[in-house]
Structure 1
Amino acid sequence: MNHWTQNAIFYHIYPLGFFGCEKLQTNQTVHRINELEQWIGHLRSLHVNALYIGPLFASSSHGYDTIDYYEIDPRLGTNEDFKKLCQKLHENQIKVILDGVFNHVGREFWAFKDVCEKKWDSPYKEWFSNLHFEGTTPYHDPFYYDSWEGHYELVKLNLYNQNVCDHLLQAVNMWIDEFDIDGLRLDAANCIPPHFFKQLKNFTQSKKKDFWLMGEVIHGDYNQWANQEMLDSVTNYECYKGIYSSHNTKNYFEIAYAFNRQHGDHGIYKNLYLYNFVDNHDVDRIASALHDPRDLKNVMTLLYTMCGIPSLYYGSEWGITGKRSKHSDEVLRPEVHLNDIKQNDVVSHIQKLGEIKIKEESFHDLHYQQIYLTNEQFVFQRNNCLIALNCADHPSEVKIPEGTYQNLLNDDILHIRSTLTIQAHDSLILKT
């Protein structure tokens, strides 16, 4: 049976930045999440049918330092606000995906505060990884604990403690029962023990058969996490890098190698619908990552036509820029307003790509075949569609099979004998 993600287009927002929230928790409720209802028309114009809302749980600062897994951040609103939004999104056939930050919590998390107060007398002292009273931390605690990558404001949970697992699963249960969420993106998935993902998979499947689990994984063999027992998908960082780098170096061999490695005849992920993206809340905006802005449309063509699930990061549809600094990601997560969106040729291109992705069954499975490849030209096939790209600064010819094709991007009919001319920094999607 086909899963809904096979025909999904995601839109990803980082809500604390998206709404211009205060940097630190104020404990004052501001009903900002309600504003997302105004964006539904824009999402539908992009043919988006899944909204991934970044960290939503109550937190101390940036969202990944959770205070409470059962409440949305008061800087965003109330649970009741979010319930109404979920209902409205579902009425518009848009799935809702939340960020499951289950590897670590913030120091203001209620159980950790109990340990700080009661120390060895706290019933929660075993809730945290390697917590012991024979050391200290940079916060001068009278105990030591594991953190996430040396960031001691992020306290690593002990997921080998079943009480901790049960607390998280009960939270997931609430979000499914009360809000009817459709999936979770699991933060820092490579840091989480497999047994927890197996529990999570069994639990969510028992609640909602088509519930989707996707893990944030930067390196490694994606099959370790995405398999029948654990997660459904992972972040495709391999192709994220390959897509922009291939254009910056005018070397389509890089991304073609990755496509073939993943989904070619001997691909190692032939059965995985990976989560594809060209930017997100942790990496430079694609408009800033590219050396030549003329390549942006070709980048989006690859994102929407490659095997897997395309995800668009908020604002990138109109070329918003941003490069992370050594100490801050804030520029990647700006406040935006609906009236900031200006219709341009990139937005129009993405809208057309969304229409093609949804309508054309060629893009709903994982069939992939390379047809033609040079440094600056690339043609590949997805069932009865050919995707042809040229990143050169001049029109170029590519060899494709003889036949009559419809260019789905503009509905032109092309009669090809042996070669096809592609304009500079342009792409075509040809249906036989």
Structure 2
Amino acid sequence: MAWYDEAIFYHIYPLGLSGAPKQNAYEKPVHRLNTLLPWITHIHNLGCNALYIGPLFESVGHGYETTDYKKLDSRLGTNEDLTHFVKECHKQGIRVILDGVFNHTGRDFFAFKDIQANRENSRYRDWYCNVNFCGNNEYNDGFSYENWGGYNLLVKLNQRNPEVKNYICDVIRFWVNEFDIDGIRLDAADVLDFDFMKALRQTANEVKPEFWLMGEVIHGDYIRWVNEGTLHSVTNYHLHKALYSGHNDHNYFEIAHTVKRLYEMGGNRPEGLKLYNFVDNHDVERIYTKLSNKAHFAPVHVLMYTLPGVPSVYYGSEFGIEGKKEYGSDDSLRPKLNLEDYKDAIISNPCTALIAALGKVRAAVPALSYGDYQQRVLTNRQYGFTKSWNGCTVAVTVNNDDNEADFRVPVDSSETYIGTLTGVKVQPENGQIHVSVKGNFGEIWVPESALNEEPVTVPAETAMPKEKIVKDTVEQAEKNIADNASAKETSAAEPLAEIPLEVPAETGTSTTPDVSDIPEKKDAKVLDLNKPYEEMSVEELQAAILEKLSKNGPVTDQMRKDVADNVYLNSLLNWVKSFQ
């Protein structure tokens, strides 16, 4: 077990959070990194024990066009500032990983400047890919070269060049010796050379015990990157997409099947593929912006903190702030924030309170970090699973409907279970717990004996606005975890929406799909389930989904109703594709 197995990350884009200028004039250092020191205590109070911060090193603009790998960006301060910052993080029990931008450099990097000056005679001409002195570019260099993403501002390094490989490995050694960092997030890892990554892993194994390498990978079979020879983890973009679209479309099947596919990819073992889970970051829109129903902030984050993987919160999203890509700019995703504006957020802001509560629950219940995942309940709007470790079985239930929902979840214990976010207690019957979850919420059910009983200071109760999320706050979670033996039973939080809607009762089950369950239409055509999904009608997609469901187990009448109620073509298309 390493520190990253129990990590809860906080993610900071420092140039944005500190309000640094967009362009670097390479002038006298301005100590903006020091203004972020108060955030370390905030990160600790949220229950996070690891920080991913970057990019940090000298660059001309957004930080990913590196000018000097061994110098803190002058817009942020000096190397001494970074050494002090990491030391302060370590004092509060927070590990630190930095951005390693090793696929490309900026045009102001010394090796590229030497090529500009000496052309064919430069000893660095082979440090970059496909340098062609018969070509040219928009900068009128008199030569061309391979870039990243179509941007000549980002010059692609030749990672197969032994000098480049050794130089980057020396950079990693320098960062550990100079700043005492605990790991690196590899930018654009999905286009890095695999032999190059193996060299980085060997260096990581040498420089510091449990030095963590996490790579930015968008698509593909993650196990190609995550293994003993290359990286410890990669960014889980598959789950990121499923978490917001699965709620927007009321489609928990998309989330569950994504989790199933990734868990199988790791050999159906909790330690097989520990991915870096997130709902937003510096490159994608804020989760609060992307959610059609803002109340889904709660079940989304309950899932992120409890599904297999390592959870991460992007700075500001714990406050429920908005952030949308506009006119091709990421500026609104990377805003300057004043922590003083949110000084009481853990008490007064329900989004922040929930994040802090989830951090305490995860830290108190090791089964959430190490447990074996088993899916237990799945409909469009309800999802339940268990995680079992060292004799402790934890149950997680989420509900994306506006109405309260009942769950029956198998557990391995006969002792009383407590809902760590609401304080509700239930007694297992016949190997199951029968629980209710309020609309647009979730709960983590833990055997009382498994909870941390160390005393925790409980903040004073504060009223919370309904339009944000739910009334459950961190004080209830702290109380349940800290002293469950003497805790009194409390009622669950009030639902966000007080709309009098009926929840259909479950009825019998069937093992085979029946396309006759799809409502008849006067102009109904013969259903063709053999053509591409993109060419199917609503009725054909509904029938195809029922067919897929039947292969995973009994199809209940409620499941048929969920399918029939969904008449949105794009939603059905996403749903049926989630089975693949």
Query: What range describes the TM-score normalised by the shorter chain of this pair?
Result: over 0.9
Cα distance in 2 for residues equivalent to 1:13 and 1:53: 5
Letter in 2 for 1:330: D
Gapped regions of structure 2 (runs ≥ 5): 448-580
Contact persistence 1:273–1:366 (CA under 8 A): no
Report deviation, 1:306.
0.8
Task: Report the counterpart of residue 372 of structure 2 in structure 1.
Answer: 367
Letter in 2 for 1:394: N
Q: Deviations over 1:259-305 (max 9, x none)?
A: 11122698567511100000000000000011111000111101111
Cα distance in 2 for residues equivalent to 1:268 and 1:396: 29
Q: Deviations over 1:110-162 (max 9, x none)?
A: 21111112111211111111112121223222111000021111000111111
Q: Secondary structure of the residue that 1:40 maps to in structure 2?
A: helix
Spell out the pairing of 1:373-412 with structure 2 (5 A cutoff): 373-383=378-388, 384-401=393-410, 404-412=416-424
Letter in 1 for 2:339: L
Cα distance in 2 for residues equivalent to 1:419 and 1:268: 27
Report deviation, 1:419.
3.7
Report deviation, 1:416.
5.4
Contact persistence 1:298–1:389 (CA under 8 A): yes
Cα distance in 2 for residues equivalent to 1:203 and 1:44: 30
Task: Report the counterpart of residue 99 of structure 1 in structure 2.
Answer: 99
Q: Secondary structure of the residue that 1:89 maps to in structure 2?
A: helix
Task: Report the counterpart of residue 89 of structure 2 in structure 1.
Answer: 89
Cα distance in 1 for residues equivalent to 2:189 and 2:341: 34
Q: Secondary structure of the residue that 2:205 maps to in structure 1?
A: helix
Letter in 2 for 1:406: I
Task: Report the counterpart of residue 181 of structure 2 in structure 1.
Answer: 181
* CA pair 200-406 structure 1, distance change in 2 beyond 3 A: same
* CA pair 24-380 structure 1, distance change in 2 beyond 3 A: same
Q: Secondary structure of the residue that 2:256 maps to in structure 1?
A: helix
Cα distance in 1 for residues equivalent to 2:193 and 2:40: 37
Letter in 2 for 1:391: N
* CA pair 37-265 structure 1, distance change in 2 beyond 3 A: closer
Letter in 2 for 1:22: P
Cα distance in 2 for residues equivalent to 1:121 and 1:17: 40
Task: Report the counterpart of residue 220 of structure 1 in structure 2.
Answer: 220
Cα distance in 1 for residues equivalent to 2:268 and 2:327: 34
Cα distance in 2 for residues equivalent to 1:129 and 1:326: 31
Contact persistence 1:264–1:369 (CA under 8 A): no
Letter in 2 for 1:39: W
Q: Deviations over 1:61-82 (max 9, x none)?
A: 0000000000010000000111
Report deviation, 1:399.
2.3
Letter in 1 for 2:355: I
Letter in 1 for 2:82: F
Task: Report the counterpart of residue 7 of structure 2 in structure 1.
Answer: 8
Spell out the pairing of 1:232-311 with structure 2 (5 A cutoff): 232-263=232-263, 267=267, 271-311=272-312
Cα distance in 2 for residues equivalent to 1:265 and 1:311: 21
- Larger relative contact order (Cα-Cα within 8 Å, sequence gap ≥ 6): 1
Cα distance in 1 for residues equivalent to 2:280 and 2:198: 29
Contact persistence 1:263–1:367 (CA under 8 A): no
Contact persistence 2:277–2:312 (CA under 8 A): yes
Q: Secondary structure of the residue that 2:33 maps to in structure 1?
A: helix
* CA pair 266-37 structure 1, distance change in 2 beyond 3 A: closer
2:19 matches 1:20: yes
Cα distance in 2 for residues equivalent to 1:419 and 1:173: 54
Higher Cα radius of gyration = 2
* CA pair 253-86 structure 1, distance change in 2 beyond 3 A: same
* CA pair 340-267 structure 1, distance change in 2 beyond 3 A: farther
Cα distance in 2 for residues equivalent to 1:47 and 1:426: 20
Instruction: State the TM-score, normalized to the length of structure 1.
Output: 0.97
* CA pair 159-264 structure 1, distance change in 2 beyond 3 A: closer
Q: CA RMSD in A?
A: 1.5
Cα distance in 1 for residues equivalent to 2:22 and 2:336: 12
Report deviation, 1:85.
1.0
2:350 matches 1:345: yes
Task: Report the counterpart of residue 427 of structure 1 in structure 2.
Answer: 442
Determine what percentage of the aligned residue pairs are the same residue.
44
Task: Report the counterpart of residue 114 of structure 1 in structure 2.
Answer: 114
Q: Secondary structure of the residue that 1:70 maps to in structure 2?
A: strand
Instruction: State the TM-score, normalized to the length of structure 2.
Output: 0.72
Cα distance in 2 for residues equivalent to 1:100 and 1:113: 21
2:324 matches 1:315: no
* CA pair 392-400 structure 1, distance change in 2 beyond 3 A: same
